[in-house]
Structure 1
């Protein structure tokens, strides 16, 4: 049985009501092994750790109409089955797939976790010379992105409701021009940091998917997540941090219960980027700024 609990974390670019039910998908338990064998395994061996939780949320009438009107045009049919967020077996996300989907060979930008779709749709409207793919797992976010794209009759955007790391594993080398990950779920509790979307394995898959010289743009308003990004990306193979700003950050991690101790921890200087002009100022970012949080921007170039 799935466990239903209440969840109040903020997902990518979208707030969740504290009373909204969250369905945690059952995860296959780790097989029993001897101590000597288990010691040689990665800490999460046998488990599929997701950067999100499945939410059972109904669409209101407006979003349901948008889904019905625009899903056939914009929503890619690449999931393993109805209701699944797994990418179907055998999918090859290559240049031919891009050409057949967008009917051209223009550079493709993928945004991981588009939330309500404000940023990716605005970018698609401003840059008809580029192609865009929005990755989002939550039904309301997908529906709202469909609504925004459909109202503007955009031809250069598609949406995929799948688990992003699985899609990147299906990508051919050099098929993407840029990848964007703006304000991902911070997973503030220390025990949940392993769920953060920016991870070494995903970095390797993103690097393979990017064309040489392509970039992965990341932004967060959580100081501890900024440290996490630096730890994963600054020394990641095939990437160069091209930031031009010097930012001081704690060198130790804090969690949801002790974040107020960060100022007293040892600090070090890190390189980050100026704000990406191609990112619109969404309501989510406005709320972070109003709360006094600092926005951390990162640009990692594929080399």
Structure 2
């Protein structure tokens, strides 16, 4: 999905006929906008053939809330995956290229792919089914809602690679990396578990640093020094960032476990720098 598509969707969702903004239904700030869309024949077949095996039936409603009574705990993991292997959760799996490759390469781990958009879900199902992956499951769910009902210390790692940038300043509150989600992920991670984040948007990198670097319970494991502007820019004035005051920040080298997806290739081809982060959950206090 392009940024312009995002902006038009958000404008439609946020701006009623009178031009005044109204709160989102149920007063939630979501990192996505639900859109109706028809799957092509190939993706529809993938959904029909593989949803029963891979797609978890845990959500309800158009906001993709977790159905009442669902808890992501060790019993749930044992029932769904049939083992007690460590669980890695990817937030925003896109087309599923990365999580499917990781699941194929690491059968000793369980993987849960969280994606809200139908084509991405269907394509992930297709990749899982074609490779007959036993250790991958998919959930079409609002990720923050799932982590609210995740038990303590049951997740080994959380991955959030190239989340929607929400480039307009008024939409920065919709970015998935927020303190509230960080608190729930911290509780869900096992001891020394990590949250891996990657973005090719410089302003989003600054946002991650602002949210995570001084947040209690997290340790930045990065060793690379990068220079970033210390003021935010929005869509339409990003070219101003080069002339803004800069400061040094610490980030990680590229995560070897992340395959080079088509999305990342496009970012590199456009000359964007990839920012990787590794935050380790440590004891509070």
Q: Is the 8 A contact 1:117 1:141 kept in 2?
A: yes
**Deviation at residue 24 of structure 1 after TM alignment:** 3.5
Cα gap change, 1:252/1:17 in structure 2, threshold over 3 Å: closer, same or farther? closer
Match of 2:31 in 1: 51
Q: Is the 8 A contact 1:23 1:56 kept in 2?
A: no
**Deviation at residue 273 of structure 1 after TM alignment:** 0.1
Cα gap change, 1:248/1:26 in structure 2, threshold over 3 Å: closer, same or farther? closer
Q: Is the 8 A contact 2:194 2:278 kept in 1?
A: yes
Match of 1:9 in 2: 3
Q: Is the 8 A contact 1:50 1:195 kept in 2?
A: yes
Answer 1 or 2: which has greater helix percent: 2
**Deviation at residue 212 of structure 1 after TM alignment:** 1.1
Q: So what's the TM-score if we normalise by structure 1? A: 0.86
Deviations 1:99-132 (A, max 9, x none): 1110000000000000000000000000000000
CA separation in 2, counterparts of 1:8 and 1:270?
28
CA separation in 2, counterparts of 1:130 and 1:23?
41
Q: Is the 8 A contact 2:9 2:33 kept in 1?
A: no
**Deviation at residue 9 of structure 1 after TM alignment:** 1.8
**Deviation at residue 187 of structure 1 after TM alignment:** 0.4
Secondary structure, aligned partner of 1:24? helix
Secondary structure, aligned partner of 1:192? helix
Match of 1:64 in 2: 44
Deviations 1:125-150 (A, max 9, x none): 00000000000000000000000000
Give RMSD over aligned pairs.
2.4
- Matching of residue 115 in structure 1 with residue 94 in structure 2: yes
Match of 1:39 in 2: none
- Matching of residue 24 in structure 1 with residue 3 in structure 2: no
CA separation in 1, counterparts of 2:10 and 2:160?
25
CA separation in 1, counterparts of 2:50 and 2:280?
34
Q: Is the 8 A contact 1:109 1:131 kept in 2?
A: yes
Deviations 1:74-98 (A, max 9, x none): 00010025x5511111221111111
Work out the number of aligned pairs and report it: 277
Deviations 1:214-262 (A, max 9, x none): 0000000000000000000001121100001000100110001211110
CA separation in 1, counterparts of 2:8 and 2:152?
43
Out of 112, 123, 137, the residue aligned to residue 116 of structure 2 is 137
Query: Structure 2: where are the runs of 5+ without partners?
Result: none
CA separation in 2, counterparts of 1:260 and 1:149?
40
Match of 1:208 in 2: 187
- Matching of residue 105 in structure 1 with residue 84 in structure 2: yes
Match of 1:37 in 2: none
CA separation in 1, counterparts of 2:252 and 2:106?
22
CA separation in 2, counterparts of 1:21 and 1:227?
23
Match of 1:79 in 2: 59
CA separation in 1, counterparts of 2:2 and 2:104?
32
- Matching of residue 257 in structure 1 with residue 246 in structure 2: no
